[in-house]
Amino acid sequence: MAENKYFSNQFLVAMPGLLDPNFNHSVTLLCEHNDQGALGLVINRATDLKLSDMLEHMKLAHPALDPAHLVHWGGPVQTERGFVIHTEPGKWESTLKVAEALYITTSKDILSAIGRGEGPGRFLVALGYAGWAAGQLEHEIKENSWLNTPVDRAILFESPVAARWEAATRLLGVDVTQLTAGPAGHA
C-alpha cells in the first residue's frame, strides 16, 4: 500500500516556537496539499467584521443571519478573497470537497443563501488564506513549526475561537504547557 505523503483534511497546529505573528498559536484547516504546494484556512482568528456587515456591503439580503456571527481571518494571502467552510454539499458554483461532509466554497451564491437562512447549517466564513509553495510545508513540518492532526468538526464549528488551539493540541494527546517554545532537536 502506498503511503499518502499529503496532509489534506488535517489541522496544522502551530508549535509554540512558531513566532510568525500570522501563525503564532494558530490552527489551520489544510484544504489542499499536493506536489504543487498547499492551501489552508486559519480557523482560530475571528476578526471584528460582522458577517451581516460584509453581506450588507455586498448588497446581499441577510434577514436570517445571526447578527453576532463574525468573519474569520483565513490567512495573509489575498485577504479580499472569501472562503466558506461548510458541512453540506449544496449546489454552489465553486466548491472544493475537502473530505466527506467538509467543503470549501468561494462563490457568492453560498453567502446569499446563508443570508436568507437557506445555506449550510454549519459554516465558517474566512477572508484570505495561507499558502505554501511546493515542498515549503514539508520543510516547515520537519523544522518543528507545525504538528498535524485529523480534522475535528466539533473544534472547527463548535469550540470557542479562543479555545481552538488548545483543543487541537489535545487531539494529539499533547499538554501544551509542556511544549518547548524553542527549536526542537532531531534524532
Extended strands (E) in the chain: 10-14, 27-34, 37-42, 46-50, 70-73, 77-86, 95-99, 102-105, 123-133, 146-150
Q: Encode pLDDT of 7-37 as tens digits.
A: 778 999 999 888 899 999 999 999 999 999 9
- The rounded Cα 48 to chain-centroid distance in angstroms is 17
The Cα 156–Cα 124 span in angstroms is 8
Note whether residue 186 is domain-resident: no
Question: 505523503: which residue's cell?
Answer: 5
The pLDDT of residue 186 is 42
DSSP state of 73: E
Amino acid occupying residue 59 = K
Residue 184 lies in a domain: no
Segment 158-186 shows an average pLDDT of: 77
Report pTM.
0.90
CATH code for position 106: 3.40.1740.10
Span between the terminal Cα atoms of the chain, in Å: 27
* 3-class SS of residue 88: coil
Q: Is the dihedral of CA 13, 162, 71, 24 positive or negative?
A: negative
Residue 35 lies in a domain: yes
Q: What is the pLDDT of residues 52-102, one digit of tens each?
A: 999 999 999 999 999 899 999 999 999 999 999 999 988 999 999 999 999
Grid cell listed for 30: 489544510
Question: Is 162 within a domain?
Answer: yes
Residue 149 covered by a domain = yes
Do 149 and 10 contact (CB within 8 A), yes or no?
A: yes
Is 135 in contact with 34 (CB distance < 8 Å)? no
pLDDT of residue 95: 93
pLDDT at 5 over 60: no
- Tell me which amino acid residue 66 is: D
In a domain, 148, yes or no: yes
Asked if residue 26 is part of any domain, the answer here is yes
Which of these, 85, 75, 69, lies nearest to 123 by C-alpha position?
85
Range of the domain at 149: 10-178
The answer to whether residue 183 is domain-embedded is: no
Place of cell 441577510: 62
pLDDT at 176 over 70: no
Domain count, the chain: 1
